[in-house]
Amino acid sequence: LLDINRSIEMANFYIGFNQWSSSITCLTQDGFEYNETTLQYRCVHTCTVTFMLKDGRKTEGKGQGTAVGKDKFNTIEFSKKNA
């Protein structure tokens, strides 16, 4: 797996700072549950991102993020961020 910050750093280095862009094209919540035993929430999100070059070429990538925590709101937000 390649961390998003490392991906951006590499794109800027090899392609050039203003020569590319990216956008989130889809973000879905794939699962959400509360465990009565551990008193924790578990949330899963999937994200599709489109990566575009200035010359019109583009590609898509998908990522999935999972988070577990005691706070419902923070668990959902962290899952989105991880996706």
pLDDT number for residue 19: 93
**Encoded tokens for 49:** 């991102």
Overall pTM surpassing 0.75 (yes/no): yes
Helices marked H in 1-83: 4-14, 72-82
- What contacts 27, CB < 8 A, 6 or more positions away? 45, 46, 47, 48, 80, 83
Q: How far apart are CA 24 and CA 19, in angstroms?
A: 18
- Say yes or no to pLDDT of 4 above 80: no
Q: Mean of the pLDDT values across residues 75-82?
A: 92
